[in-house]
Structure 1
Amino acid sequence: MPVIKDTFGYLQDDRRVDRITLSHPRSGFSVEILEYGARIRAINFPHARRGPVNTVLSYASLREYELDTAALGAIIGRCANRTVARAHPEFQLSCNDGPNHLHGGLIGFGRSLWRAVACVDGGSPGVLLELQSPDGDEGYRGNVSVQMEVRLDSPLSFRTVVTATTDRATPLNLTLHPYFNLTGDPDVSIDDHELRLAAATYLPVSQDQIPTGEIRAVDGTPLDFRQRTPIGARIHETDGGYDHYCPLLPGSAVAAELSSRRSGIRLSVSTNQRGIQFYSGNSLAGATPRMFRARVGLCLEPHGFPNALNEPTFPSIMVQPGETYRHDTRYLFAMTQD
């Protein structure tokens, strides 16, 4: 069956969480999504020699996802990344990262229970999940209705389309947070993965990881991934690893390309978002109940400019009543040719 829906577990308050598995009928490529946090639990690539290779970090149990603080596989909202929580005169957001608001707050979309409301079988199997975020949620205004569609749109790719509407003006800046490790081995570092980003600039940040408002060229810095480069090549020149937002060059058909020579698997990411946050999993060791080591998974998080709510020079992330927020990202997998 291209679509299988089963019970993954029960939350501590006894609410049931279902798992939806989408499988391509010809290739064997599959994606697992949990209703808890609309999390991508597994992306199984049909490797010719090794069989199915799960290309993202995963937990075996729902309890581990409840204890997780690394947002493993989650959808992030209402606003991704870090925001100065109390800086805006109209929004007093919850603080869950010192004085800052991180990844939607204390609960956010990633710890909320979504519901799968429709499944589509056939040659392009998919699922539609829904979430209602009430007025005042984590300090945000407006009742927000969110839908997330995940669909296998080719034998080796899937597409996520997230749409949202509101009845009051509110910031919306969602992202997807799977941790990729294309080797399929969660004990292997991602330092020898090779990355290419369609970005000529990045956003410098303060000591607490808040963008300063400056947009700086990547020339001569460890953030220059315009050509395919091993992640570990210059990571020692960073302050503990990569955790940087990179605005994408306009018109880029492929926003990011990631590959592993060890497995031969390549991932291409396309998105309608303005940039990608590249995070090399620096704090994984202290944020996961399974105790993954640091840098055994990396995130490529498409979203709008972080802290744009408080930075008037950044492109606006405000959504008005009558408008529809839309986040469209595609993940295409293949075997490398070199």
Structure 2
Amino acid sequence: MRRSKKKDFSKVIKKQNKSWFHRLVSGAFLAPSVLGVLLFFVLPFLVVIYFSFVNNPVAKKFVGLTNYINVIQNGAFRTAVGNTLFFSVVAVPLAVILGMALAFLLDAGIPLKSELRSCFLTPLMVPTASIVLIWQVLFDYNGVVNVAVQKFGGGQVDWLKSSAGLLVIILLFLWKNLGYNMILFLSAMGNIPKDIIEVAELDGANRWQIFLHVKLRYLSPTIMFVTILSMINSFKVFREIYLLTGEYPYGALYMLQHYMNNTFASADYQKLSTAAIYMSFVMIVIMGILFWVEHHFGKDLEEE
């Protein structure tokens, strides 16, 4: 009995040693990534928070919420926030809905499916500078679109220097991102259980009911992921607008990134830091809402 107890005890010790060894090895592999995140993300963000509460990086006098009040009362900041919000509210849902619609269209087995898929993925391989050049050729005052409009009896429109410029940027955003969203939805649709769809069809469910109660529920994690990805990409559209219109575009195209870029150029770090905190707070709230919605709709699937 004593020998068996000693053997069992030695086995427990060996298992504990192995678990500690595996933890050390895992920690060693994770350490570079953790240090990189702390050094290049967490630490700079803490510095940004600090700058938002001081008058400037030199004097470093604590001013409380003064910077937050000044930034939110700034007219340029309000314009930038309004334009960015409007663009995201319009462009992001369109990117998600149209990407899903294209995925369902290609999944239906239409002719030339491979060719169409390649066409929608082509913008991903085009550099940003080339995309801007294409859009300049299309929407310049003497560009292709205005030539076509004149042939049909319309007048010339200075697209990038009018309220219609936002429509041009939305079209650019969709043209660039729809293909990737479509591929993500196609991949997710391949994981929907076929037997559940067959059972629903045998029970007399029509296509709309199958889409709403089966496919949409199983696609909810992908919808959330594509929404977050599209929202992040909507903030990156500043690159295209900047190359098309410069630092100070027409009012409707003045985005939050323009405000932050121009503030950085003027070395007004306290305003830049405060604007970044506002932007981070809004993003955290939106992410939280999206995760809550996805958890609410996908909870019954996890229980199954």
Between Structure 1 and Structure 2, the one with more helix by share is: 2
Report if TM-score (shorter chain) is over 0.5. no
TM-score by length of 2: 0.23
Greater radius of gyration (CA): 2
Structure with the larger RCO, 1 or 2 (CA within 8 Å, 6+ apart): 2
